[in-house]
Structure 1
Amino acid sequence: MNRPIFARPAPLAALLSTLLLAATSAQAHFQQLIPYPDILTADTGAEVNLDLRFTHPMERGPLMNMGQPVRFGVAGPAGVEDLTDSLKAEKTDGKQTFSADYHVKQPGDYVFFVEPAPYWEPAEGVMIVHYTKVVVDAFGAEEGWDREIGLPVEIEPLVRPYGLWTGNLFSGIVKQNGQPVPFAEVEVEWVNDGSVTPPASPFVTQVIKADANGRFSYAMPRAGWWGFAALLEGDKPMKNPDGKTVPVEAGALIWVKATDMK
């Protein structure tokens, strides 16, 4: 017996379309700031290359277009240096990204940081600013890795954020205006090299809730770069490209690398 074929009811089709759009827009944004290498030795030399891109790391994209960063610098043994003029704009997959080269002049820990240009995310109705940092160790000094930059939102590392083995526990404190943020939500993603296919969407972004003192911990299960992002509401709204006043997502990010023990 032939059964009649009915079109899917419009309300259900609309619901499915809405859910699909919500799932797509819910992808976690991460401002990447990745150094090569992250530990300098006599063998590597004193040059560091830094890659800056705004993306979805676990899903390997898509990239978002970066505007000219507001501020880019490093805090090292000699103090804080403004490196904004060293940024080089590049095109990656048709989107603007940035890179920079830095010559280390003396042993010590170097905390690189960036305040990117605000990014308008219409799907969420917010301007996004991810204040991001990463620590590079130079020539075994191992001092200064816990230095705070004084960013509006920032993660203070409680574990030295380099020289970590796969499976090590990374811990930090989420701060806003220098004060711990109780029960802050922290998103975690791995920079996927193409070797992992998440079996379902909850595996893409790990989610941690900090304790009453703003402290969180996470054991990194795979070698590579891990991004920790505490997403907070900014103190002041901004105007979007249409001139409308909208909320700000102020992200505190830190990048940490895990290495397999061989």
Structure 2
Amino acid sequence: MRMSPPALPRRVAAEFIGTGALVAVIVGSGIRADSLSQDIGVRLIANAAASALGLGLLIALIGPLSGAHFNPVVTLSEWWSRRPARGGGREALAYIGAQLAGAVAGALLAEAMFGRVLGAWATEARSAPHLLLGEAVATAGLVLVVQGLRHIGRPGLAPVAVAGYIGAAIWFTSSGSFANPAATVGRAFSDSFTGIAPASVPAFAAAQLLGMLLGMVLAGVLYGTDRGAGEPNPAEPRRTG
């Protein structure tokens, strides 16, 4: 039986906690991998596996509360795709604010767990054009997966499909598949294997937004613009259980 969605403050809290936990997993696993091996391949395997597993679990747990966006491009693409009437602008802004705050909190939590000095900015520059291209591709693919699941009426596959895609994209894209403006901001607060220098954040975020638009265009070409069967309202997620 379909039940009323949680109130907005609870959904926003779920996005804050979920995004914070996700970034803590990404950054923390990167710090751990960096301390255990000097082999870049081993570190990437460890970070990709932990990130994919953590993301899948978080989507499964928090999806029934807020939709488990954890990502401004997911929130924006879901809001934009709600046609013909696009309501929920206030909810989208609240989600994005919670995601940004949660990402910073998650990165700082990971740093604290490993006894590192808080407040050290990342120094890894990621501004080369080929990295920005890779980030646009990674984000386009993510949006296509999310939109595709909605159009075919299979949103319940999101924990496996989205996590599987991100785990693969960490390997097949040159950027390492951040694919998330909030996580990108959070990772600027960690001078570690998964960090990104603050000066590189604006270009990365721009590439992600471009990728979001590309993903939505591809979804429109493949599935059309009609809402899929069984699609949940992204601003009013279903509660299960």
Scaled by the length of structure 1, what TM-score is found?
0.26
- Bigger RCO of structures 1 and 2 (CA < 8 A, at least 6 apart): 2
Instruction: Select the structure of larger CA radius of gyration.
Output: 1
Structure with greater strand share of residues: 1
